[in-house]
Each structure stands twice: as C-alpha cells, then as structure tokens.
Amino acid sequence: MGKIVIRVPATSANLGPGFDSIGVALHLYLTVIVEEKTEEWRVNHALGPDVPNDKQNLIVQAALAVNPKLKPHQLTVMSDIPVARGLGSSSTAVIAGVKIANELGEMDLSLADQVTIAAKIEGHPDNVAPGLLGDVVVSDYDGESATTVKLGMPEGLKMLAFIKNESLLTSESRKVLSDELPRKQAVVGSSVANVMVAALATNNWELASHMMERDQFHEIARTKLVPELPMIRETAHKFGIYGTYLSGAGPTIGTFGTEPQLIVLRQKLSDMDVKGSLRIFDIDRQGATVNAE
C-alpha cells in the first residue's frame, strides 16, 4: 500500500443558535500522511511539545478506538489550525483517525457511519459532521447514531475570524454554562434556530444572518470569557454586516460576509487594536478527503 494522504478542514461550530448541532467547514486544514509500518506508532509533527508523537496522539487514539487491530504506522502531520481556539482542531484529529482506521482496516465505512463514530468519540456532532461532509451541516447525535442534513452557505460568502491570542479549552468554557434554561428562553432559542435553518435552506441569507445573532443557549454566558463578541458585532452592524457569532466554545469570533465587506471590517477592527489575529477564510464545500478523492 502506498502513502495515504488525508486532509481535514477546520470547522466553526455552534453556528449562532445551533448549539452543539450546526457547524461549517473552513478552508484551513489538517493534513496527515500515513507512511510505512513501524514497530510503534510514530507521529512526526511541528505542533509543539504538548502534542504527543506516539500512540497517545489523539489521531492514533481515535484510529484505535475505531479499529484496535490496526498495525502501527509512521504518520506525518501538518496543520494550519490553531489549537484550542474554537476552530475544531481536536475534531480534525478525530476525523483523521476515523479515516485512517477506515483505510488501513479496509472497513468500507459509509460517510454516515463515519459521522456517527466521530460524534461518539467527540461527544457531539457539530464539528465532525461538517468536517466530514463540508459546507454547513445541521446534525443531531442521540448517543447512538448521528443524523445530518448538509445545506449550502450562499456563494460568495467568506468568514472573518477574530482569533484571540490565548487559548480557551472547551471544558473550561462549558463551566460557565447553566445546566438548565427557563422554558420561555429555551423556546425562543429553539424557534430562532429553526428559523435560521429554514432561512439557510431557502438561501435567505439576510434572514439567516440576523437569526445567527440571537442565540439563547451559550453566547450570553460565554461573553464574560470573550468580551470582544458584542464589540465586533456592533462594529459589523455599522457597515451593515450581520452574522457574527462565537465560534465553538470560543475564543474565536466569526463574522460572515462578502470579501469586500470583510476587508473593510478587518481594517476597522485592526484600527481598534483588538488583541488577536484577523483572518478571512473561504468555506470548504467538500469535507475531508483521502488522496484528494
């Protein structure tokens, strides 16, 4: 068997009111090259000392969770995705592991099977589903199986990501969330999410972008951890741009718009000296690939 090249896009999840259920794939990638068999798993990377280079690496752990009988191989890993910034870095590793298990184990898993397996490992589907399928995906995971619907973001849209300089672990960010919501607030959150999905499905971006800013499930609580969210949203509104939301658990903040709109917004935010990087990403429409399939 020759080298296997797996490419997995970054993802932005919790798309507005789509808490743990709606995410989008971005043109930013983890690439894993599966090379020769070895005595022990070896993972070559330049991602820093905190990322294991043996079988403790999350990619290998995910692959072995899918197929414990896999023989060790050497992996070379390259990633443009910042770690613990709300852009699905751990999810891309899980997806790569599922793909490795499927290829090396000749398991012939369907994409639906791969989403369910990855969601089971990750605990929720909102990153792994768009990572595997591409574009924007609405998904559900009931603990046994994942159900997905792939939609399409309007052509010409890109995302401006404000990526804070410091990381924010999902586990830490979840601690500020309440275990319960008042029924009235939950109904509002659910109805807003329903309208946003319907608007995306009918290509009504004006409506979808407004609904995206009305989350009731997590943004209110997490704003204390990412106080730049209302400031960026208000600045975007001054240019007529809607569709700003907290990406994943944060601290990245995403804003959708056309490239000319986002260039103007990026310049304005740069002039305001926000503490982080500002990058414009295309939307990945294809999802994870094996040997550029």
Are the C-beta atoms of 178 and 128 separated by less than 8 Å? no
More confident site: 47 or 146: 146
- Domain spanning 157-281: which CATH class is it, in words? alpha beta
Percent with pLDDT over 90 in the chain: 81
Three-class SS state of 170: helix
Q: For the structural domain made of 4-152+284-290, what CATH number should be given? A: 3.30.230.10
- pLDDT value, residue 54: 96
Residue 79: exposure state from Cβ atoms within 10 A (0-12, 13-18, ≥19):
buried
The model's confidence at residue 82, banded by pLDDT at 50, 70 and 90, is confident
Q: Hunting for tokens 């709109």 — which residue is that?
A: 261
Q: Inform me whether the pLDDT recorded for 240 exceeds 90.
A: yes
Q: Please tell me if the domain spanning 4-152+284-290 has the same topology as the one spanning 157-281.
A: no
Rounded to an integer, what is the distance from CA 203 to the centroid of its chain?
Answer: 22
Residues 6+ apart with CB under 8 A from 123: none
- pLDDT value, residue 171: 62
The model's confidence at residue 44, banded by pLDDT at 50, 70 and 90, is very high
Query: For the chain, what are the domain ranges?
Result: 4-152+284-290, 157-281
Predicted structure pTM score: 0.93
> Tell me: the pLDDT tens digits for 145-159?
999 999 999 999 999
Tell me the two tokens of residue 285.
């429409």
Q: Inform me whether the pLDDT recorded for 35 exceeds 90.
A: yes
Q: Inform me whether the pLDDT recorded for 170 exceeds 70.
A: no
The model's confidence at residue 178, banded by pLDDT at 50, 70 and 90, is confident
Q: Inform me whether the pLDDT recorded for 210 exceeds 80.
A: yes
Q: Hunting for tokens 């890109």 — which residue is that?
A: 158
Least confident range from 105-109, 215-219, 265-269: namely: 215-219
Rg (CA), the chain: 19
